[in-house]
Chain A
Amino acid sequence: MIHSLFVINNTGDVFMEKHWKSVINKSICDYFFEAQGKASCPEDVCPVINTPHHYLINIYRNSLYFVAVVTTEVPPLFVLEFLHRICDTFEDYFNECNESILKEHYVIVYEILDEMLDNGFPLAVESNVLKELIKPPNFLRTITDTVTGKSTGVSGILPTGQLSNIPWRRTGVKYANNEAYFDIIEEIDAIIDKSGTTVTAETQGYIDCLIKLSGMPDLTLTFVNARLLDDVSFHPCVRFKRWENEKILSFVPPDGHFRLMSYHIGAQNMVAIPVYLRHTINYREGSGGRFDVTVGPKQTMGKTVENVVLEVPFPKTVLNVTLTASQGKYSFDPVSKMMTWDVGKIDTAKLPNIRGNITIQTGSPIPESNPVINVQFTISQMAVSGIKVNRLDMYGEKYKPFKGVKYITRAGKFQVRT
């Protein structure tokens, strides 16, 4: 399946390669660079590139390209999903996954890659299993190793998880404080047209957990209104049958951070749009143009809208903008022509406003369309879909855990056409 992997940084340096079958020279990456050269921005590089004898499947993440080389037919999603899983694993190990981190932990990275795939086919992918096979870097252990002269970086025993059918959890977990936290995060994807009407709006929800529970807890999570969730995907630990029959999430959780489920509420349902934009953007021949935008709260169920950020990608012909913001700060990047206005909290008494002039390159024609404004915001203690956790029960263990649930609504791909 996956023949080789090359990791390439933004400057086109192939700084890591790993081969699971015979060695493929890194000159194969030239095909990739060729495709990269054609693309106008890193995101535009086609994820699957066909070369005479190989197929290059790549992802772009954290300014790094992960290029997998395959030689035979393989489901492309299989490879893409796996590449993302590799990145997730690195992030899990090192907290972040960028060039300097990967370079710093060459050996661990290499060992992980070696363990994850055998002959290009996934072998041990579950983070819990991997972490037992190859210990994540840890300050204390490094010192102990140095002092004792032993190396405990790799385990000589096959982790229990690999053989059990709950590979995501290892045995013998022990905590002094038993805690279980659930973050219910909902993202609103919306397109708002010029007049302020919603063209399309969808909600994407996630339940991210942090579970620190000893032993083998068996949790059930029930919702007040589970019917809302009609399209869901689960972490493998969730027992699907119970969800199907009773709409209950029943699972033996992995240890630590993980995403329990994600759900999607489609465009057919009504979504409350929490903010609105009042905007006038017009260009005048010769001189430039006027820019005036006001943000206001709409359906927020009485909660404050925070962390509001507006991003306005101006056309290439715009030279500069001179604006005054009633609150927050704005910045304009003359290279990408991106104006970013960090608004902060929306004060309902005095709505945030930004206005000023746009300078256009002399001689160039005025842009024919106004920019599409990307909006970011966060509303805490509210889930826009109205989903609510009813209760969390634990079976299988005797202690009483501390339980916490948090709701957050934020903007996903929230765009306002002007």
Chain B
Amino acid sequence: MSAGIMAGNGFQTSYANDKPPSSTGSGEAAEMSTDPASSSFFTSDFKRHEDLKAMLDSNKDTQKLEAMKRIIGMVAKGKDASDLFPAVVKNVVSKNLEIKKLVYVYLTRYAEEQQDLALLSISTFQRALRDPNQLIRASALRVLSSIRVSVITPIMMLAIKEAVMDMSPYVRKTAAHAIPKLYSLDPEVKDQLIEVIERLLGDKTTLVAGSAIQAFEEVCPERIDLIHKNYRKLCNLLVDVEEWGQVVIINMLTRYSRTQFISPNQADGPGDADRPFYEDSDKEEEEEEVSEMKKTPYMMDHDHRLLLRQAKPLLNSRNAAVVMAVGQLYHHCAPKSEGNVMAKALIRLLRSQKEIQYVVLSNVATMTSRRKGMFEPHLKSFYIRSSDPLHIKLLKLEILTNLATESNISTILREFQTYVTSPDKDFAAATIQAIGRCASNIAEVTDTCLNGLVHLMSNRDESVVAESVVVIKKLLQMRKSGHKHTPSEHKDIIVHMAKMVDKITVPMARASILWLIGEYSERVPKIAPDVLRKMAKGFINEEDIVKLQILNLAAKLCITNAKQCKLLCQYVFNLAKYDQNYDIRDRSRFLRQLILPGENGSALAKYAKKIFLATKPAPVLESKFKDRDHYQLGTLSHLLNIKCHGYQELPEWPEVAPDTSVRNVEVVMPYVPKAHHVQHKKKKESKSFYSESESSQEEETEDSSDEEEDESSDEDSGSEENSDDSEKDISKKVSSEEESDSDDDESDSEDSSEEDSSDDSVEKIVTPVKKQPKTKTKAATTTKPTTSSADLLLDLDDLGPSSGSSVAVTPAGGNMLTPTLATGISNISIQDTPPAQIIPPSIVQAKSYELLNRMTGNGLSITYQFTRTVSVFSPKMVSIELKLTNNSDDTLTSIKIGDKKLQSGMEIQEFPEIGSMTAGMSTTCLIGINFNDTIQPAKFAICVGDNKYSVSITAPVGELIQPYSMSNAEFNTQQGKLSGMNENSGKTVIGVEKDAKSICLCVHSVANVIQVPGSAENVYRFSGKTVGTGTMVLMSVVVADDNAKITVNCEKMVIGSMLLKDLKTSIAKS
């Protein structure tokens, strides 16, 4: 047997002519070469299975593997291999991974059919669930949960519960997948599963997030309350989750938003609140854009904004499903003015595979049926190519029709002209319908279109002609009901059509012509009876639909022109009376009573004319996609326009937003304490959980508890290592199983470092920027009542035991966990990209200063506070939030910033003019000031109508700084550089015994800096950079007994000395 034959390494080579060398000796060689996948005679089939069994029973792995490969070949082909079950299931214990894997594949396929035998394998999986190798644990769980034997649901439940606590996120991911499997097997366990899901939702690894949400969607989509606490985390993780998870998460969050926030499109006034969400009006859109700028009373919830902002970058995903998910999010949940961002991305998708085009186009069709403005600039992207498949052509046609406006109709019609000549007649017919719709929607072109359509009636192709006739009929009908004053109009069209009735054979078209003649018979008094005569002659050969129209025509003519038509009419009614179709028989009887009443005469007969010749309402030609928009875009239900199984209705916006604080937990607290807190909780939880599982497992094995202990002891070392790991290190580390397992489970530390490593290199520049929201939160909570620190501490305690400890843990230098936690801060804050908005206003009670007094401002009072976030206007600006309140009884109009008197180098970014403020209203707006690193006041005027009030803002020196994170080592080198003249130091006495927490609080209340992790005990170091020029600012506080030595290093000596002064006061005072 040559190597060449083996080369393929595929299945075929292995079962065809080259048997494994070891088997050549056996006498069954001939049978073995039979192709198992080909259809062969029953006898050989039987024998083949026999030899497969023999091979499976052999003690050589190569033979077993061969056999398994052949069996899998049969499974793949859809051939029945169930009789091999007993032979295969034995091999579940095989040491060989490949055999094992194939046995697993086989088991999942056939276990359901052979439940009793399948049970034999369960104990193997249970053992594998405790294998040190995470891949084996995961695949055991996968098989265990996939074999669909209802007897083992309790075992599955147990396994899932255990896997959810697993160190490896991969195992946790498979656990998340197992949940819906178990649920489908036994819906009774829902409550228990919800608990598990709740736990998984709290998982912070990106790997698990998507699967956890998928489990949530399949098991308990109605439990929206489980999302609250995880909402912000999900938003922030979104970018890093794998693409499939992103789709699921965005879809779920869309639904969530619709229940938790109020509609962003009700801004224009209270009356608009009940207006349907997407209503098309371009003008309105523009208005809204303006009003958005002016900060109308509607303020988008920060969380709502967070979601939109985090999702937006995903429009650049390569995955069409992700782009579509973001698209529908913006369609359903964003202010109309912002919807346009997705248009471009959706257009880009039109370049992908035709199947994807199809789905995207049907969604675009729905969007354009409501608001055309968004896609109008991309009109040409929807032009049809002759190579497009029919369903795509039709969708594009639909969109082009939806997009037609007065301004572009001429281009569209010119394009349609080429389509009409297409050899594809279905498409040509659809084009004619589209022309009809354009004509009916846009009055200016109706006549042009009508002429064009009449012209088409002389087309050689019958379907084209027929379609034009039908459309003309609709158009004429519409015109008639619209303009009564033009009776003689279109007479020639009707005459023309009447002549065509002989030629056209398509029933629908014939029926349409007959209807037209009947309806407008008074305009063609000579022709109409003649047409009826011809029709009566051929009545019996017509289609049903035509027959009905002949009856109608006869009835109408009989009313208007009884003299000529009565006999004809009678004749037709008689024919119809004996028709095979009962509809026609019925109609005939009914008409006869009305038109040709007997001697006693029916009561209705005298109203016959009114009944038959009443003005009929015009048909409405509109997009067939219009009725689809009650389905969530991008869903299967939307695409098929039916409610699919498992479709979750997209709720309407609530009138009043539910409590926003339910989501607070995560972000309100400074991050570190939370991590700390959770860690504690987790440990506790896990303990109780483990003990429970232990007790239940006691019968089976004892060693599990030992293992757990091992693992938990590994945690610390694992997480410690994490902290300073680079990207590379992490991946390397993972290869050593145990270690990675352990650090993965303590997800807080692990997860953060993971993110860190990925973003670190990317966002070097961004890092200081991103840092702020977090520091801000901290600052916000701390700065509030600087005057009475005793209260302050109490306050913090009230907020949660954790908030203070954040700082407390970090400086406890000896602690192994310190570095991890510290990086944790930075990482999470990197994740936590949103600037100001994310913190609910209630917490942003940073120190607020008065800018304009209500007395001097004639009722307008303005306060300001430093948000400690990066300014949205320029990174060199300090972001300041102004809070304007109208305390007067009148409405104040056009509030803006007037002339500015600034020192050179200083700049102010004004807030957009506020149109009007009613009495009692208050609003906030952001301005940015570049103080150029000085503490000179920025003077400017506030104009209210014609009044001007001069005001000035002075930034405390600490607010001119923004946090800049660095490592301890870097701090040392930087400090080395900034010695001598640049160093300011001083001592102060601390009155009371100071703990780490309060020192940090003091510093944070003075300056917007970040703590440097990992310094020695009683040494607190902080770093930052000035906003204007990015000059490094380093601070350190060394506590010795009741003295604190404060050192501030900064190239700008003024800043350094002032900071020192402020710090001294702050620390001494407290």
**A: which residues have CB within 8 A of B?**
1, 14-19, 21-23, 26, 39-41, 43-44, 46-48, 50, 55, 58-61, 70-78, 80-82, 84, 103-111, 114, 118-119, 121-123, 125, 137-139, 141-143, 145-146, 149, 151, 153-158, 160-167, 170-171, 189, 191, 193, 199-200, 202, 204, 215-216, 218, 230-236, 239-242, 244-245, 250, 252, 259, 262, 264, 266-268, 313, 315-316, 365, 367-369, 372, 374, 395-396, 412-413, 415, 417
A236–B732 touching, CB < 8 Å: no
Partner pick for A40 among B75, B240, B390, CB 8 A cutoff: B390
A245 to B386 alpha-carbon distance, docked (Å): 41
B387–A413 touching, CB < 8 Å: yes
A230 to B354 alpha-carbon distance, docked (Å): 24
A216 — nearest CB in chain B belongs to which residue? B728
B762–A146 touching, CB < 8 Å: no
A40 to B391 alpha-carbon distance, docked (Å): 11
B105–A119 touching, CB < 8 Å: no
A413 to B727 alpha-carbon distance, docked (Å): 42
Partner pick for A146 among B3, B243, B359, CB 8 A cutoff: B3
Interface residues of B in 354-381 (CB under 8 A from A): 354-356, 358-360, 377-381
A367–B423 touching, CB < 8 Å: yes
A271 to B142 alpha-carbon distance, docked (Å): 53
Q: A264-B347, A315-B423 are in contact. Are A240 and B313 (CB under 8 A)?
A: yes
Contacts of B344 in A (CB 8 A): 230-231, 264, 266
Contacts of A70 in B (CB 8 A): 636
B177–A121 touching, CB < 8 Å: yes
A154–B97 touching, CB < 8 Å: yes
CB distance from A255 to the nearest CB of B (A): 13
B385–A413 touching, CB < 8 Å: yes
A17 to B72 alpha-carbon distance, docked (Å): 11
A60 to B642 alpha-carbon distance, docked (Å): 24
A383 to B65 alpha-carbon distance, docked (Å): 52
Contacts of B8 in A (CB 8 A): 104, 137, 142
Asked whether any CB of chain A lies closer than 8 Å to the CB of B170, the reply is yes
A390 to B69 alpha-carbon distance, docked (Å): 52
Contacts of A239 in B (CB 8 A): 762-763
CB distance from A159 to the nearest CB of B (A): 9
A141 to B10 alpha-carbon distance, docked (Å): 12
A23 to B146 alpha-carbon distance, docked (Å): 11
Asked whether any CB of chain A lies closer than 8 Å to the CB of B869, the reply is no
Which of the segments B130-138, B665-673, B839-847, B878-886 contacts the partner chain? B130-138
Q: A16-B76, A48-B636, A55-B636 are in contact. Are A156 and B644 (CB under 8 A)?
A: no
CB distance from A187 to the nearest CB of B (A): 8
CB-defined interface of B406-418 with A at 8 Å, one 1/0 digit per residue? 0000000001001
Partner pick for B359 among A23, A80, A189, A230, CB 8 A cutoff: A80
**B: which residues have CB within 8 A of A?**
3, 6-13, 37, 61-62, 65, 69, 72-73, 75-78, 96-98, 101-102, 105, 109, 112, 133-136, 138, 142, 145-146, 148, 168-170, 173-174, 177-178, 180-181, 184, 206-207, 211, 214, 218, 239-240, 242-244, 247, 251, 313, 316-321, 323-325, 344-345, 347-348, 351, 353-356, 358-360, 377-381, 383, 385-387, 389-391, 415, 418, 421-423, 459-461, 634-637, 639-640, 642, 644-648, 727-728, 730-732, 734-735, 737, 740, 744, 754-755, 757-758, 761-763, 765-766
A39 to B390 alpha-carbon distance, docked (Å): 9
A104–B12 touching, CB < 8 Å: yes
B355–A59 touching, CB < 8 Å: yes
CB distance from B676 to the nearest CB of A (A): 23
Partner pick for A233 among B105, B169, B348, CB 8 A cutoff: B348
B646–A77 touching, CB < 8 Å: no
Q: A47-B359, A153-B98 are in contact. Are A231 and B318 (CB under 8 A)?
A: no
Q: A78-B321, A241-B763 are in contact. Are A106 and B10 (CB under 8 A)?
A: yes
Contacts of B356 in A (CB 8 A): 77, 80-81, 84
A26–B755 touching, CB < 8 Å: no
A-B contact pairs, 29 of them (CB 8 A): A19-B109, A46-B358, A48-B639, A75-B325, A77-B360, A77-B634, A80-B353, A104-B12, A105-B10, A107-B72, A110-B76, A118-B177, A121-B211, A122-B244, A125-B242, A157-B735, A163-B734, A171-B731, A191-B383, A199-B383, A234-B317, A235-B318, A236-B318, A239-B762, A241-B763, A244-B313, A264-B347, A367-B423, A415-B386
A73–B78 touching, CB < 8 Å: no
A16–B77 touching, CB < 8 Å: yes
A80 to B357 alpha-carbon distance, docked (Å): 10
Contacts of B13 in A (CB 8 A): 104
A202 — nearest CB in chain B belongs to which residue? B381
Contacts of A123 in B (CB 8 A): 173-174, 177
A107–B69 touching, CB < 8 Å: yes
Contacts of B6 in A (CB 8 A): 142-143, 146
Q: A119-B178, A156-B136, A230-B344 are in contact. Are A50 and B351 (CB under 8 A)?
A: no
CB distance from A143 to the nearest CB of B (A): 5
Partner pick for A125 among B69, B244, B740, CB 8 A cutoff: B244
A367 to B425 alpha-carbon distance, docked (Å): 13
CB distance from B432 to the nearest CB of A (A): 15
A127 to B959 alpha-carbon distance, docked (Å): 49
Contacts of B244 in A (CB 8 A): 78, 82, 121-122, 125
Contacts of B247 in A (CB 8 A): 75, 77-78
A231–B460 touching, CB < 8 Å: no
A160 to B736 alpha-carbon distance, docked (Å): 9
B313 — nearest CB in chain A belongs to which residue? A240
B647 — nearest CB in chain A belongs to which residue? A73
B357 — nearest CB in chain A belongs to which residue? A47
A139–B359 touching, CB < 8 Å: no
A236 — nearest CB in chain B belongs to which residue? B243
Contacts of B62 in A (CB 8 A): 149, 151
A156 to B139 alpha-carbon distance, docked (Å): 11
A201 — nearest CB in chain B belongs to which residue? B380
Partner pick for B423 among A61, A145, A369, CB 8 A cutoff: A369
CB distance from A59 to the nearest CB of B (A): 5
Contacts of B319 in A (CB 8 A): 81
Q: A118-B142, A160-B732, A368-B460 are in contact. Are A103 and B636 (CB under 8 A)?
A: no
CB distance from B619 to the nearest CB of A (A): 27
A372 to B214 alpha-carbon distance, docked (Å): 47
B383–A200 touching, CB < 8 Å: yes
CB distance from A177 to the nearest CB of B (A): 22
Contacts of B383 in A (CB 8 A): 191, 199-200
A313–B386 touching, CB < 8 Å: yes
Contacts of B323 in A (CB 8 A): 233
A137 — nearest CB in chain B belongs to which residue? B9
A170 to B731 alpha-carbon distance, docked (Å): 8
A189 to B383 alpha-carbon distance, docked (Å): 11
A80 to B244 alpha-carbon distance, docked (Å): 12
A313 to B380 alpha-carbon distance, docked (Å): 24
CB distance from B5 to the nearest CB of A (A): 10
A194 to B647 alpha-carbon distance, docked (Å): 48
A110–B105 touching, CB < 8 Å: yes
